[in-house]
């Protein structure tokens, strides 16, 4: 496994990623550094980062409480105030050390503050390592809608250090695998086949790297999300709607669980539209259920789901546009989907 060249920045990958970070910081000589983290990345990861990069011993630490609920405007406002009070300037570096919530939030705050200050990601969850750290999409949830405010901007670099996963809780590891499964389903049948039993996977590094490689190839072709990059949203149209409804109801749901349900529902729609076969749908549903647990019912009415879905960024002129599988390992985008097809998928989901 080597480093990856993305759209104007490098993803440093592997056990020596923190040494690369040290070299990078010495070379770049930023005026000052802020490190954004949550209580878990602060406890488990920050000490390793500071040992590898002693100059970060002087960095200002900003800790936010973990959880999707804090990927919010309120958190941004509080932190932008700190930046202003501390006189952060255009040469101040923001280091986002944490899971996907931290990278989405920190990337957004940095890309907007003073029209953009430099930032880097050090992903610490499996989901952030395999997916969220690459591609430059940042954002926060606003008015109950996932990622409704956001930017596409480039980090200066990304440092992926898989040993950070040693302290990640088991259910969060599983949460991260969902996005790896998504990458396999949309782009790599061979990887899908290799994922038949993740309990047998010791070190997930090779799968993380392959996911990043696949995502990078897609992002490089369409960095601004105008065309083929939309395939990365497979499972996310309905997944995001479910996630936002659960959070609105004051409950918690892992991003991966919502996307897993979204992938099953959207695969059913692909089957209805004869994009994939019954056999392929059954294989996907069975594998996802066996790996990520039995399906839970979706405790919302169809109309609630459709209303939430109406806010999806991928819709066009009032009609739903989904990214749907064409087969295991390939995905179409901007496919028109109607309410009836969504209803049928929901019925099948609850019957299974």
Ligand X SMILES: NC(=O)c1ccc[n+]([C@@H]2O[C@H](COP(=O)([O-])OP(=O)(O)OC[C@H]3O[C@@H](n4cnc5c(N)ncnc54)[C@H](O)[C@@H]3O)[C@@H](O)[C@H]2O)c1
For ligand X, the closer of residues 65 and 339 by Cβ is 65
Residues 3-32 that bind ligand X (CB under 6 A): none
Nearest-Å Rg of the Cα atoms of the chain is 20
Residue 297 DSSP symbol: P
Exactly one of 121, 230, 255, 308 binds ligand X (CB under 6 A); which one? 255
For ligand X, the closer of residues 104 and 312 by Cβ is 104
Residue 37 · residue 45 · CB < 8 Å: yes
Query: How many residues are given for the chain?
Result: 352
For ligand X, the closer of residues 56 and 97 by Cβ is 97
Exactly one of 76, 101, 258, 345 binds ligand X (CB under 6 A); which one? 101
For residue 347, how many other CB atoms are within 10 A of its CB? 12
Binding mask 40-79 for ligand X (x = CB under 6 A): xx--xx--------------------x-x--x--------
Binding mask 147-186 for ligand X (x = CB under 6 A): x----------------x--xx---x--x---x-------
**Is 97 a residue that touches ligand X (CB under 6 A)?**
no
For ligand X, the closer of residues 47 and 90 by Cβ is 47
SS3 295: coil
Helix residue ranges, H only, 233-331: 236-248, 255-272, 278-292, 302-309
For ligand X, the closer of residues 104 and 280 by Cβ is 104
Q: Determine the Cα–Cα distance for residues 35 and 98; give it in Å rounded to an integer.
A: 10
Residue 296 DSSP symbol: P
Distance of CA 59 to the CA centre of its chain: 26
> Can you name the residues that pair with 335 across neighbouring β-strands?
322
For ligand X, the closer of residues 44 and 273 by Cβ is 44
Q: Determine the Cα–Cα distance for residues 46 and 52; give it in Å rounded to an integer.
A: 10
Q: Count residues binding ligand X (CB under 6 A).
A: 30
Residue 327 · residue 278 · CB < 8 Å: no
CB of 87 vs ligand X, minimal distance in Å? 28
Pairing of strands 157-160, 4-5: unpaired
Residues 109-148 that bind ligand X (CB under 6 A): 124-125, 127-128, 131-132, 135, 137, 147
CA dihedral 172, 174, 178, 183 (to 10 degrees): 100
CB of 180 vs ligand X, minimal distance in Å? 11
Residues that bind ligand X (CB under 6 A): 38, 40-41, 44-45, 66, 68, 71, 98-102, 104, 124-125, 127-128, 131-132, 135, 137, 147, 164, 167-168, 172, 175, 179, 255
């Amino acid at each position: 496994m080597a480093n990856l060249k993305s759209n104007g920045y490098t993803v440093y990958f592997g056990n020596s990623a923190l040494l690369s970070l040290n070299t990078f910081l010495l070379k770049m000589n930023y005026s000052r550094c802020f490190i954004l983290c949550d209580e878990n990345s602060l406890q488990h990861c920050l000490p390793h980062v500071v040992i590898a990069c002693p100059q970060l011993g002087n960095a200002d630490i900003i800790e936010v409480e973990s959880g999707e609920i804090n990927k919010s405007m309120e958190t941004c406002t509080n932190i932008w105030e700190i930046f202003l009070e501390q006189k952060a300037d255009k040469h101040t570096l923001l280091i986002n050390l944490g899971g996907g919530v931290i990278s989405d939030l920190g990337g957004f705050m940095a890309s907007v503050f003073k029209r953009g200050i430099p930032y880097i990601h050090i992903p610490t969850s499996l989901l952030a390592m395999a997916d969220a750290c690459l591609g430059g999409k940042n954002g926060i949830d606003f008015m109950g809608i996932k990622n409704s405010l956001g930017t596409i901007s480039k980090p200066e670099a990304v440092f992926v250090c898989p040993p950070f996963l040693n302290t990640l809780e088991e259910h969060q590891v599983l949460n991260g695998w969902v996005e790896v499964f998504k990458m396999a389903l949309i782009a790599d049948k061979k990887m899908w086949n290799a994922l038949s039993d993740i309990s047998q996977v010791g070190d997930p590094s090779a799968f993380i790297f392959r996911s990043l490689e696949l995502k990078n190839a897609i992002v490089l072709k369409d960095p601004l999300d105008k065309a083929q990059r939309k395939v990365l949203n497979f499972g996310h149209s309905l997944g995001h709607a479910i996630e936002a409804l659960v959070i609105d109801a004051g409950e918690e749901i892992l991003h991966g669980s919502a996307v897993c349900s979204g992938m099953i529902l959207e695969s059913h729609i692909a089957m209805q539209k004869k994009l994939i076969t019954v056999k392929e749908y059954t294989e996907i549903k069975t594998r996802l259920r066996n790996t990520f647990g039995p399906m839970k019912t979706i405790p919302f009415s169809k109309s609630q789901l459709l209303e939430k879905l109406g806010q999806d960024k991928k819709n066009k002129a009032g009609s739903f546009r989904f990214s749907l599988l064409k087969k295991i390992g390939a995905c179409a985008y901007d496919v028109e989907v109607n309410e009836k097809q969504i209803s049928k998928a929901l019925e099948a989901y609850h019957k299974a």
